Amino acid sequence: LLLLCHAEEAAVIVSGLRNTDVFVGESATFTCEVSHPGVKNVQWWLDGTPLHNNLVTEISEQDGRIHTLTLNDVACHDSGTVTFRAGSLISSAKLLVKGISLPE
For 27-82, write each residue's pLDDT tens digit.
999 999 999 898 889 999 999 999 999 999 999 999 999 999 999 999 999 999 99
Task: Count Cα atoms within 13 angstroms, Cβ side, for 90.
Answer: 7
Q: Walk me through the domains of the chain, giving residue ranges and CATH numbers.
A: 13-98 (2.60.40.10)
Beta bridge partners of 94: 81
Query: Does residue 26 carry a pLDDT above 60?
Result: yes
What is the distance between the alpha carbons of residues 95 and 47, in angstroms, rounded to a whole number?
10
Residue 7 has pLDDT above 50, yes or no: no
